[in-house]
Structure 1
Amino acid sequence: MESTLQIMPVQRTSRNFGEYAEEAVIIEEPVKPKKVNHFIEANSVEVTLDHLKNENVIPVFSKDNELTISHPQFIETVWAAANSFYSGEQIEQPDIRCSHVIKGRKPEAVNKPKNLLTEADTTQYYERCAFAIDIPSIYEDVSGNRLNLSIVGVRALNRENLATKKSPELFRLAVSFKNQVCCNMCVFTDGYKDDIKVMSTKELFLATLELLNNFNAAKNIHLLQTLGDSYLNEHQFVTLLGRMRLYQCLPQGYQKAIPRMLFTDTQVNNVAKAYINDENFGSLGNDLSMWKLYNLLTGANKSSYIDSFLDRAYNATELATGICSALHGDDNYQWFLS
């Protein structure tokens, strides 16, 4: 089968990215039509970069009043790094989702009754922010679904200790493929960093370049394509669902002997419902391909809170590939099918 994967021809031969470092640039943001599908849903809302920059305050480290790296700076820095690394490719504007609004009052409104407050009296910022930057000129077809390359960023200020002096700040980044039929994210080992700790946007820019450089797009597309060649029968699928429900109740020591499973009971229930009702990946009455199982898992993950979204997206890849291996004799994930 002839591959249609479009990969940037330039190969980085050096790990010294200092020469590529630059200040974050301002993104000129055109008006976008509202999308039906989002890469994450849960309790998050769609926001614009302009809203984040002009209608939200920036949290500080309280001991020295030093600014944190703001959500807009995070987004613009990653966007600039993507344009630098994938020069010549089509880089779309970020799709931004935020949650957990932290509200405050301006000093002159401290004694105002709540029902008399106006927008001019209040301040706010979002504790959690996630965004996806699509690169549609780098794509592949897997089992009849078009997958575009996408860069996903997550920031959760609930994981920062803002009561101290300024310290390295935590960011999460993934470069992955997004299934265009459902906006599900496919996150891989070499495309995910859950512990990027930086003091400045320059360090964040360099960390983004390093992640993009280490990502092996062709290898991961091949992995996804192989999922379409293996199937669960209905009995195996029902057994898997039961084991996933049971996993959460196991004693901690027992859990450690089994590959991790991060999905909640509600999300496992959503996988079961989608198996029956999903128009793209439902398979009631038929064997379920591992590709479809993978998309049922990544679809259920859209209900995760922002701070756990990428961990579970990666765990969906672990589960799908692990169970696929179990079907071919590997012992590591046999517990989920036994």
Structure 2
Amino acid sequence: VFPRESISSPSIRVSHVVKGRIPEAIHKPVSQLLESDKTIYYERMMFCFEIPTIYQDIDGSRLNLTIGGVRAYNEQNLYAKKSPEKFKIFIGFKNLVCCNLCVSTDGYKASLRVMDISAMLTSAVELFQSYDMERHLSLMAAYQSVGMSESQFAQFLGRCRLYQYLPSAEKKHLPELLLTDTQIGMVARSYYEDENFGKTDDRYISLWKVYNLFTGSNKSSYIDNFLDRAENASTVTTGLARALHGDAEYAWFLG
């Protein structure tokens, strides 16, 4: 798909270590276990690599094209008979100023189920080819020209806090917001403290900065939730931009 581009070495992160033993040692007391009897695996793993020769600059931030994926054993029954393996894959951009990951809807496949590597490769290539890179970059660049005053931003954050506790009957009529209450608190703190994406001297904040506060707070997510929230951050920011121009879908979040 990218035959003439430079590709970085992958970065790999794992979490939730699970220690076990080989089947032959299943009945051994713990005190008698040999190192060769022990096994170790991780419930969650994420990898990503950059293609630094494909990049764009937005408001002084360099964005490199980035590809990656997630494998989470906690989402799969490891003891069932052979069934399709589940993965999450994405293509998007990484902001080198803060290492925030920018993922759009058309660059993310939240549930890729395959039986073998060839099927996974085919599905990945289809995603990469269908991803509209220029549209994604244009959308993010447009966030610079829309913004909120401090009172609007405070109203928005308050609504985000309320959203977490809405009755299900009310929440189902609103767009989805995946950031947690704690992460919304991190966004509020960063509005005042973040040197790159915080408020200006007149307490105005562009949606480009709001978006990066979202993706920055998302770095506290578990690996298996990270990509869903990254994609949702893009959707919410785009919805906010429309709401500030009078669209009704996300108007509730602005009060």
TM-score, normalised to structure 2's length?
0.95
1:205 Cα shift?
Answer: 0.6
Aligned-partner Cα distance in 2 for 1:254–1:170: 32
Partner residue, 1:89: 5
What aligned pairs does 1:222-261 form with structure 2 within 5 A after superposition?
222-261=138-177
Which segments of 5 or more consecutive residues in structure 2 lack a partner in the other structure?
none
% identical equivalent positions: 49
1:305 aligns with 2:216: no
Aligned-partner Cα distance in 1 for 2:19–2:146: 50
TM superposition outliers: structure 1 runs of 4+ over 3 Å: 106-109, 116-121
Encode CA deviations 1:145-197: one digit per residue, 9 max, x unaligned.
00000012011111112221101111111100110111111111110111111
Aligned-partner Cα distance in 2 for 1:321–1:128: 30
Encode CA deviations 1:102-159: one digit per residue, 9 max, x unaligned.
111344583133xx86654421011111011100000001111000000120111111
* Structure 1 residues 201 and 299, CA gap change in structure 2 (3 angstroms): same
- Match for residue 275 of structure 1 among 191, 199, 212: 191
* Structure 1 residues 134 and 180, CA gap change in structure 2 (3 angstroms): same
How many pairs were matched up?
Answer: 252
- Match for residue 188 of structure 1 among 89, 104, 109: 104
Equivalent position amino acid for 1:179 in 2 = N
1:320 aligns with 2:240: no
- Match for residue 206 of structure 2 among 285, 289, 296: 289
Aligned-partner Cα distance in 2 for 1:276–1:96: 32
1:133 aligns with 2:45: no
Higher share in helix: 2
Instruction: Give the number of the structure with larger relative contact order, counting CA–CA contacts within 8 Å between residues 6 or more apart.
Output: 1
1:88 Cα shift?
Answer: 1.0
1:210 aligns with 2:126: yes
1:277 Cα shift?
Answer: 1.2
Partner residue, 1:161: 77
Contact 1:270 1:300 in 2 (8 A): yes
Encode CA deviations 1:181-230: one digit per residue, 9 max, x unaligned.
11111111110111111000000010110000001111110000000001
Equivalent position amino acid for 1:328 in 2 = H
1:221 aligns with 2:137: yes
Aligned-partner Cα distance in 1 for 2:119–2:50: 23
1:324 Cα shift?
Answer: 1.0
Equivalent position amino acid for 1:298 in 2 = T
RMSD over aligned Cα atoms: 1.4
Partner residue, 2:113: 197
Equivalent position amino acid for 1:294 in 2 = Y
Contact 1:276 1:284 in 2 (8 A): no
Equivalent position amino acid for 1:315 in 2 = N
Encode CA deviations 1:16-54: one digit per residue, 9 max, x unaligned.
xxxxxxxxxxxxxxxxxxxxxxxxxxxxxxxxxxxxxxx
Aligned-partner Cα distance in 2 for 1:185–1:166: 33
1:171 aligns with 2:87: yes
Aligned-partner Cα distance in 2 for 1:196–1:178: 22
Contact 1:151 1:175 in 2 (8 A): yes
SS in 1 for 2:248: coil
Which segments of 5 or more consecutive residues in structure 1 lack a partner in the other structure?
1-84
Partner residue, 2:246: 329
SS in 2 for 1:228: helix
Equivalent position amino acid for 1:335 in 2 = W
Higher share in strand: 2
1:262 Cα shift?
Answer: 0.7
Aligned-partner Cα distance in 2 for 1:120–1:294: 48
Aligned-partner Cα distance in 2 for 1:276–1:176: 28
Partner residue, 1:111: 29
Contact 1:130 1:155 in 2 (8 A): yes
